């Protein structure tokens, strides 16, 4: 078994190394894009842990900046749309209904391969919707091809990828307070 001190030192070293790789120019572009929202909204979407990040950040953007920010974490919406349109299509269908011109969509998939997120990204691209993507694992993942801004985390460890995504979004939110 690994020594606990060594484990934590290595764990935080890896996480801090990923944070140092974040493209600051993309952070500034994303901050500028969000700061220009007037009557429009941010729609944040992810699966699993990424969905939890979306829920947290929708609350923070709304509370801190009075930006309308939503996520699709409703059990009834998710199960209804998945049942009626198929799991891979539920996000796209939700965007067809809820997304307005000049909204910003933020799609998160650690692998960059989640079918429901990819179909939503394709919908955004075809409809010229402002899109920020967040992914990890392979830089050539499918999701990383779609966004106006793409944040990619160079890791294969889910928790490191998700925490980096969360810190990226939190930093944008905190910057907008200044």
What does each C-alpha distance from 7 to 13, 85, 154, 157, 163 come to in angstroms? 10, 44, 20, 15, 17
**pLDDT digit string (tens) for 32-75?**
999 998 889 999 999 999 999 999 999 999 998 889 999 998 88
d(CA 169, CA 152): 13
- The answer on pLDDT for 121 being more than 90 is yes
What does each C-alpha distance from 21 to 26, 58, 109 come to in angstroms? 11, 25, 18
Give the model's pLDDT for residue 143.
Answer: 97
- Beta-carbon contacts of 55 under 8 Å, excluding residues fewer than 6 positions away, are 44, 71, 73
Give the model's pLDDT for residue 23.
Answer: 95
Orientation angle between helical segments 158-177 and 24-35, nearest 10 degrees: 50
d(CA 146, CA 123): 10
Residue 43 half-sphere exposure, CB side, CA atoms within 13 Å? 23
CA 82 to centroid of chain Cα atoms: 20
d(CA 178, CA 175): 5
């Amino acid at each position: 078994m690994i020594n606990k001190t060594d484990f934590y030192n290595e764990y935080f070293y890896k996480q801090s190394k990923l944070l140092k790789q974040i493209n600051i120019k993309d952070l500034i572009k994303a901050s500028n894009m969000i700061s220009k929202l007037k009557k429009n909204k941010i729609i944040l979407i992810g699966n699993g842990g990424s969905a939890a990040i979306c829920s947290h950040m929708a609350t923070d953007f709304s509370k801190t900046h009075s930006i309308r920010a939503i996520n699709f974490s409703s059990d009834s919406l998710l199960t209804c749309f998945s049942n009626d349109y198929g799991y891979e299509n539920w996000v796209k269908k939700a965007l067809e209904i809820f997304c307005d011109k000049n909204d910003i969509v933020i799609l998160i998939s650690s692998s960059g391969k989640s079918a429901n997120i990819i179909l939503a990204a394709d919908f955004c691209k075809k409809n010229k919707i402002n899109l920020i993507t967040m992914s990890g694992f392979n830089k050539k993942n499918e999701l990383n091809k779609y966004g106006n801004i793409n944040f990619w985390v160079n890791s294969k460890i889910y928790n490191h990828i998700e925490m980096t995504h969360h810190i990226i979004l939190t930093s944008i939110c905190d910057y907008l307070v200044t």
